[in-house]
Amino acid sequence: MTFFYSMRIKIFLKNRPFTKLLLVGAIFFMWALPTEADDIQVSASVDNSEITLEDSLLLSVRVQGVMRAPSPELPNLQDFKVRTQKSNTSLSIINGKKASSFTFNYLLTPKKLGKFTIGPVKFKIDGNPYITAPIQVIVKEQTRTFLPATNVFAEADVSHHQLFVNEQVILTVRLLRSVEVRNIQLKMDTSRFRKENLGEPREYERVINGVRYQVHEMSVALFPLRPGRFDFPAATVSLDIVHREKRQNRFDSFFPDSFFNTVVRTEPKVLRTRPIPMEVLALPEKPENFSNLVGQFGISSELSRSALKTGDTTTLTLRVSGSGYVKDLALNLADLDGERLKVYQDRPSYKQEIWNNKIVGQKIFKYALVPLESGTTTIPPIPLVYFDPLKRKYIHVQTPRMALDIQPASGKESLATVKPETPPSFQEENSINIIGKDILPLHTTLEDFRDRRLTGQRIFWIVCGVILPAVLFILYVSIHRYRQRMKWDTAFSRNQTAHKIAQEKLDGLMSVLDGKDFARQLSLILREYIGNKLNLKGTAFTPLEMKDLLRSRNFGEESILLSYQLLDECEACQYSQGADTDREKILEESKLLLDRLEKAS
């Protein structure tokens, strides 16, 4: 409907220039009206004062009586995850006076249960401070039955609850939904484990109490690093539930199923799984030569050739494979390196596969063996000691004994001395007799015997003389056109200089002492870079809007996700006091992200 109204206004103004002048004058008159500058009011409110860990609340900060509102200074919100939402602006005229208001919106997601106080929000307008009243918020536990009655929920489980250090355990997280959702993000604390992904997430259907759910399932392999009893922390799934509503208008009779009759509204949601009790047992007393492998493994050996001569080389290949984490395995063959053999180790290779929803790895070691003496040399068995959690004991395996048949090298070659022949003596000039003359012209100088064929040097100079001027001309034209475009094409100029400007600002960011200022400036640098690359006006866009902008310009999904996570992390650091951030790590990740975006553009 707005489209048809705008078309009517354009047609109406096109044929009435005087009306157009009146409309422009009315706009200037409205802006010239006095404002209620003396009656500045600030307030803060939330849409709900009691929520659960799976809900989010909307914090709205409103400023009235000013034409330009500065950005608010939020209080300590370290107990919440903060996401910036769209701001609203309104303008009205009451009794000939203009009144305006600005509303800043923030989405707060709680991190834990309890009663919290959102402190005063501060403004500084024309040098005067303004603060809002504090707000009390209660975060309570979600009450649910064994089978949730909601249209979207999350669950998690492990393959076994009791295990040994470095034993493989499978963690599975499932998101079940019966409605449309967007922007799914999974976070879980695996600081006590070494984590390996088990491929792409699975999608399938599941019926619970007659309700059909779409299931998104993701599994990871975890290897505990230290013993102890603990509860595996709840995994959080952030998403937006999509609500599609139909609106009634005068065009329904013409377009009953029109796309424009549908209003799309999203509801942020944070789902949490239940904590999982786990017990990690320490390994029994370790035997000598323990390889730190926990699982089921085997070892094999192979020689490229067993018969060779002294000075030749043969390759010894050792393969260790099995179910478990074998990537960090190291073998020591120092006993082989002696007077009869010289051992040179190559870089090990590692292969990893997923079999029966578990990590199965193979590590290959290769050694170059150079015999120094002839005779029969025996390679002793190479042992491997690992712990089998199913049998709860250490297992000793080894390779078979191998023999090398080393023959002496071939006899020494005899070096023959080549004596130079005596050059023939030159005869005296008067001993030369002219017996006749040829019909060809005589060559009496060395210049006549110079090679006049085209050599490489001559060809090089000919090419330089013919092709180089054309190349220089094309290069000059290209540089000239580039400079002219940089001068007159603003979008092209912003695109070309975006990466350099962002890198220079990142280099100077370590001097910022305040953590909140560091996060704010880093967020601004990233927004300015994206604005310059996409030729956008301003930097006031949310992380979700940034994802849509990058996706519309065909950036890779991985780059879009990394950009969203970095911007989201900056906002979290900006609105949380005392947040401990590794600046060097964040700066390095930011530079790598800019390089990735620059290549993708």
For 501-548, write each residue's pLDDT tens digit: 888 888 877 676 566 777 788 888 888 888 888 877 767 677 777 888
The domain of 9 spans 2-28
Q: Do 265 and 381 sit in the same domain of this protein?
A: no
* Residues 12, 111 within the same domain: no
Task: State the virtual CA torsion across 239, 201, 216, 263 in degrees, nearest 10.
Answer: 40
Query: 264 and 157, same structural domain?
Result: yes
**Average pLDDT score over residue span 388-404:** 93
Q: What is the SS3 assignment for 100-158?
A: EEEEEEEEEEECCCEEEEECCCEEEECCEEEECCCEEEEEECCCCCCCCCCCEEEEEEE
Residue 323, domain member (yes or no): yes
Q: Is 427 part of any domain?
A: no
Tell whether 413 is covered by a domain: no
Assigned domain for 425 exists: no
- On whether both 130 and 177 belong to a single domain, the answer is no
Q: Do residue 50 and residue 128 come from a single domain?
A: yes
Last residue of a domain, one of 220, 246, 281: 281
Q: Is residue 328 part of a domain?
A: yes
Paired with 296 in beta bridges are 323
Among candidate residues 138, 171, 187, the one where a domain is terminated: 138
**Span 471-505, pLDDT tens digits:** 888 988 888 888 888 788 777 888 888 888 888 88
First to last CA, the chain: 37
**Is residue 470 situated within a structural domain?**
no
Same domain assignment for residues 163 and 221? yes
Shared domain for 594 and 496, answered yes or no, is: yes
pLDDT tens digit sequence for 160-217:
999 999 999 999 999 999 888 888 888 889 899 999 988 888 898 888 877 888 999 9
Query: What's 489-556 look like in SS3?
Result: CHHHHHHHHHHHHHHHHHHCHHHCCCHHHHHHHHHHHHHHHHHHHHCCCCCCCCHHHHHHHHHHCCCC
Q: 559 and 505 in one domain?
A: yes
- Note the pLDDT of residue 41: 84
- Residue 222 and residue 274 in one domain: yes
Instruction: Return the CATH number at 373.
Output: 2.60.40
Residue 62 pLDDT > 80, yes or no?
A: yes
pLDDT value, residue 516: 72
Torsion of CA 442, 445, 448, 450, to 10 degrees: 150
Q: What's the confidence (pLDDT) of residue 476?
A: 87
pLDDT in tens, 336-392: 767 778 888 889 999 988 888 889 999 999 999 888 888 888 888 999 999 999 999
**Of the residues 263, 281, 299, the one at which a domain ends:** 281
The enclosing domain of 55 has a CATH number of 2.60.40.10
Regarding whether 55 and 24 lie in a shared domain, the answer is no
Assess whether 242 and 274 both reside in one domain: yes
What is the identity of the amino acid at 569?
E
Which SS3 state, helix, strand or coil, does residue 72 take?
Answer: coil
Q: Is residue 440 part of a domain?
A: no
Above 60 in pLDDT, residue 448? yes
Per the domain annotation, does 468 fall within a domain? no
Structural domains counted in the chain = 5
Question: Same structural domain for residues 261 and 320?
Answer: no
